[in-house]
Amino acid sequence: MTQFDSSTQVASSATHSQENSEPGGQQSTPNRVGIEIESTFCPTEAESPFDTTEWELRTAAIKGENGQLLFEQAACEIPAAWSQLATNVVVSKYFYGEIHTPEREHSVKQLIHRVARTISDWGVADGYFKTAEDGENFYRDLAWLCVHQHGAFNSPVWFNVGLYHQYGVQGSKCNWRWDEAKRDVTQPENPYEYPQGSACFIQSVQDNMEDIMELARSEAMLFKFGSGTGTDLTTLRSQKEKLSGGGSPSGPLSFMRVYDQIAGVVKSGGKTRRAAKMQSLKVYHPDIMDFIECKSREEKKARVLIEKGGYDANFNGEAYSSILFQNANLSVRLTDEFMEAVERNDSWTTRWVTDSSKAGPTYKANEIIDRMSQCAWQCGDPGVQYDTTINKWHTCPNSGRINASNPCSEYMFLDDTACNLASINLMKFRKPDGEFDVERFTSACRVFLIAQE
C-alpha cells in the first residue's frame, strides 16, 4: 500500500477540534476553470460502476479469542472478489445505522455510493468540475476504484460523509467549519452537513486550566467522529515547579490520566474501534523520567492482576482496563544535543517550563536512554521522535516548528492542523508481466487527491 495525505491548517486555534471545510457551499467563480475528468477506470458502456463486478450475499461475523460472537450481520451484499476479512471489517466498522433496523446499510453499494456521490456532488456544486459530465465521470471512476479495491479513504470519510446528504441524518451542534463568504469560523446547526473527514489531528495545549480542559473536550469530539489526535505536553509545567498563586502544579502526567480515560470511554466513530491518541514530551522537560516510566509501571500492575488475581490477559480485558495510560501512544522527542550527550556519556539537565534559563533535575544522559529502552522492551512505550531531524526536514519552517505528530506518527506538521489520508493498493497496478502501470497509478492518485481536496 502507499499512503498520501492532504494537509489542512485549521483556521483558528480556538476551534482546533474540527477541520475547516465547507463542502458544497460555494458557487463557481467566473475566473476559475473547472477540472476536466475523462473516464479512465469505469467502462463507458457500463450503466453503473457497480455493474462491473459480481456480487453475492454473505454473513459478516467477528468472534473473540474464545469463540464468542462479537458481531454478526447476515445477507450483506458484497463484491464476490472481496475476502471474508474485508467483508467483516467493512460491515462491522463502516456500514451506517443500528443493526437490525431499516436504516442499517446492508450493501457495499450503499456505502460507496453514499461517499462517492456526496463528494462528486460537492465538486459540481462548487464549480470544481468543468461540466456536470466531468463530475459524473469522477463519480464513476471514484466508485469503481473503491469497489475494485484499488484505493480507500481514511475511516472518518466512511463514518461520516454522506450521512446527511444521502440519508438526511441530523445531529446537534458540536463542530466548526470555515465559512468562505464570512471569512470566519462558524458552527453549523448539523455536524453531518459539514462532516469531519480527516483522520489525523495535531493539537496544542497551553499551560492554563482552561486550555488543558478544552483539549479534553476537543479530543472527545474528534474521537466521536472517528479521528485521532496527538499533542506535545512539554508546554505544561512540571509537578516540580510552582504555581503563580502558590502551591505545586499537577504536571503533565496528572492530566494524562484524564485524557487517557476520555480516550478509553469515547470509542472512535461510535464504533468498537479504539480511539487513537498520541502524547509526547521533549527530553528536556523536568518530568521526563516519570513520563518514560509511567506505562511500564502500569504494566507491572496488570501482570499482578493477571498472574495473582486470575484476570483475563486480553488487552480489552478487565486487567488492562483497570490501569492507566493504555489508550495512548507515548513518545519522547529527542534532540541532537541530547544524543550527543549520550555519546559523550555526559549529564543531561532539564529546564523549567516557566523559565527555561533555570535548571531542573539532572540525569546521566545514558541513564535516560537506558530507561527508555528498558520500558519500551517491557511494554512497547515510549517510542522515539527525533525532534531536531524532524524540524530540519520541515517543509514550512516559517509557519512554525513541528512539536507533535498524529498517533501513527506519519503526519508531522504544525500545531492545530489536520491531515486527510487515503491509501492506494499498489498490487492492483502490477501488470501481468510484472511491470508497474505508472499511468493508471497516476490517474488513480489524481482521482483520490481531488476527492480529498
Q: Is 142 left (phi over 0), alpha (psi -120 to 50) or beta?
A: alpha
User: Rounded to an integer, what distance in angstroms lies between the CA atom of residue 402 and that of residue 55?
Assistant: 47
96, 103 in Cβ contact below 8 A?
yes
99, 62 in Cβ contact below 8 A?
no
Give just the sign of the alpha carbon dihedral 187, 188, 192, 194: negative
405, 394 in Cβ contact below 8 A?
no
> Does the annotation mark 366 as catalytic?
no
User: Rounded to an integer, what distance in angstroms lies between the CA atom of residue 87 and that of residue 315?
Assistant: 24
> Does the annotation mark 408 as catalytic?
yes
Which alpha helices (DSSP H) does 60-207 contain, by range? 84-89, 108-125, 132-147, 155-160, 163-167
Q: Which of 233, 177, 192 is nearest to 353 (CA)?
A: 233
> Does the annotation mark 406 as catalytic?
yes
Catalytic-labelled residue, pool 20, 88, 137, 406: 406
**Beta-bridge partners for 362:** 349
* Dihedral angle computed from the Cα positions of residues 149, 153, 159 and 160, in that order, rounded to the nearest 10 degrees: -130
Q: Quote the DSSP letter at residue 14.
A: G
Catalytic-labelled residue, pool 180, 337, 340, 410: 410
103, 163 in Cβ contact below 8 A?
no
277, 257 in Cβ contact below 8 A?
no
- Active-site residues, by number, are 406, 408, 410
